[in-house]
A and B are shown apart, each in its own frame.
Chain A
Amino acid sequence: MPTDERVDRIGRETGGYATRHRQLHTDDPDFKDVSCPDCKSDDLEVISLFGGATSEVMFRCRTCKTSFNWIKWRGKLPPVPSVDD
């Protein structure tokens, strides 16, 4: 936070992070039903978990090279304790 001088110590390391992110999320089971809207291929990679809007995941089709956004919310919730646990 700019009100604290320690913010100056946060270094910026360059290279590799964006690529690494794609590798991490591309095979995510949450995206197994996603397919390319143009060629219907399911050979996709996640460009960004947050696309042009918060509600979108950005994909790139490896087959036809189309980039597209996919609405992410499908009712999935993080783990939650139940009264029955």
Chain B
Amino acid sequence: MAYIPGNTGTKLDKNFENDLLAIADTRLVLGNWYAECVMNGRSLPDFAAILGMCTSNYGHTRAIYQFLAAHGHDYAHLERGRDAAAICSMNVLDEAPAGWEDFIVSTWLTELATWMLASGFLKHEDRAIAGIAKKIGEETYFHLKYAQGWFQIIGEGKKQSELFQKSFAKRFPIALQWFGPATGKDPLHDAGIRDVPLKKLRDAFIKEASNAEKILGAKLKQEKSVKLEKDWRRDARRFGPIPDGLFEVVRFKDAEIAH
């Protein structure tokens, strides 16, 4: 049955579904990043923050998977039945952090980008998805605040600032690819499912990312346009499958005993 907002059981628009899965899968992998890296925190408040952000991100993933399950997907398959090629997380999380500054840059860019895409559904007529977008925003607000606190601390050290700049120069263009081509068709907006054009979300991401300069107190090399990788897929918002090592971290280890 064609999608009727608010009517569970109706089939979602395919592009809508793809974007929701891209957000959910990215938050799943981000949650795993936090879980894996928590012991690299610099203090107990860091441990509490990283674990808090970990559970928030798992919660966002679960909420979106449940929404998709209410519209014809198999929840168990979404959560623990897919192979590496089917997981649509941001490429920026493919490579493990090389240090603390790289961890802060990578997680912050991921939080910001996924929030931007989710924010396009804030006024969606289906209250379930609008509510999920709002909740993601409320929680991400404090995740970004945590990262910005670290920008200030990192900005006070010359070596740390340089590591931040180096990480940003490498990670930002990869993160920007998540938004796809700077021009071209925007089927979700054209269909009235997302009220904000993707280009505006992409521009807002660039602008917000550039604001880190003020807090950090150092220039950041920021490319306004990036060439998409040849195998970049619009449906997954990524190129290639997630690396085997990362899949080993995020995959469910005992799917057969899950309930």
A interface, CB within 8 angstroms of B: 1-4, 6-7, 9-13, 17-18, 20-21, 24-25, 28, 30, 47-51, 53-54, 57-58, 72-73, 75-83, 85
- Of residues A6, A51, A53, A78, which shows the largest number of chain B Cβ atoms within 10 Å of its Cβ? A78
Evaluate contact between A13 and B42: CB separation under 8 angstroms.
Answer: yes
Evaluate contact between B196 and A81: CB separation under 8 angstroms.
Answer: yes
Evaluate contact between B138 and A49: CB separation under 8 angstroms.
Answer: no
Evaluate contact between A50 and B141: CB separation under 8 angstroms.
Answer: no
Interface flag for B88 (CB, 8 Å): no
Evaluate contact between A21 and B43: CB separation under 8 angstroms.
Answer: yes
Residues in A with CB closer than 8 Å to B52 are: 50, 53-54
| With A50-B49, A78-B115: A3-B245 Cβ-Cβ less than 8 Å | yes
Evaluate contact between B45 and A1: CB separation under 8 angstroms.
Answer: no
> Which chain B residues in 97-134 approach chain A with CB under 8 Å?
97-100, 103, 112, 115-116, 119, 122, 134
Evaluate contact between B98 and A9: CB separation under 8 angstroms.
Answer: yes
- Stretch from B69-77, B144-152, B232-240 that touches the partner: B144-152
What 1/0 mask marks residues of chain B from 11 to 22 whose CB sits below 8 Å from any chain A CB?
Answer: 000000000000
Evaluate contact between A48 and B49: CB separation under 8 angstroms.
Answer: yes
Closest-CB distance, A47 to chain B (whole angstroms): 7
Evaluate contact between A1 and B56: CB separation under 8 angstroms.
Answer: no
Residues in A with CB closer than 8 Å to B204 are: 79-81, 85
Closest-CB distance, B119 to chain A (whole angstroms): 4
Closest-CB distance, B109 to chain A (whole angstroms): 13
| With A1-B33, A78-B140: A24-B153 Cβ-Cβ less than 8 Å | yes
Closest-CB distance, B240 to chain A (whole angstroms): 17
Give A85 to B156 CA distance when docked, in angstroms. Answer: 34
Evaluate contact between B200 and A85: CB separation under 8 angstroms.
Answer: yes
Residues in A with CB closer than 8 Å to B139 are: 54, 73
Interface flag for B79 (CB, 8 Å): no
Residues in A with CB closer than 8 Å to B137 are: 77-78, 80
> Which chain B residues in 215-234 approach chain A with CB under 8 Å?
none
Partner of A18, one of B45, B100, B142: B45
Evaluate contact between B96 and A77: CB separation under 8 angstroms.
Answer: no
Interface flag for B203 (CB, 8 Å): yes
Evaluate contact between B44 and A18: CB separation under 8 angstroms.
Answer: yes
Closest-CB distance, B160 to chain A (whole angstroms): 9
Evaluate contact between A75 and B195: CB separation under 8 angstroms.
Answer: no
Residues in B with CB closer than 8 Å to A48 are: 44-45, 48-49
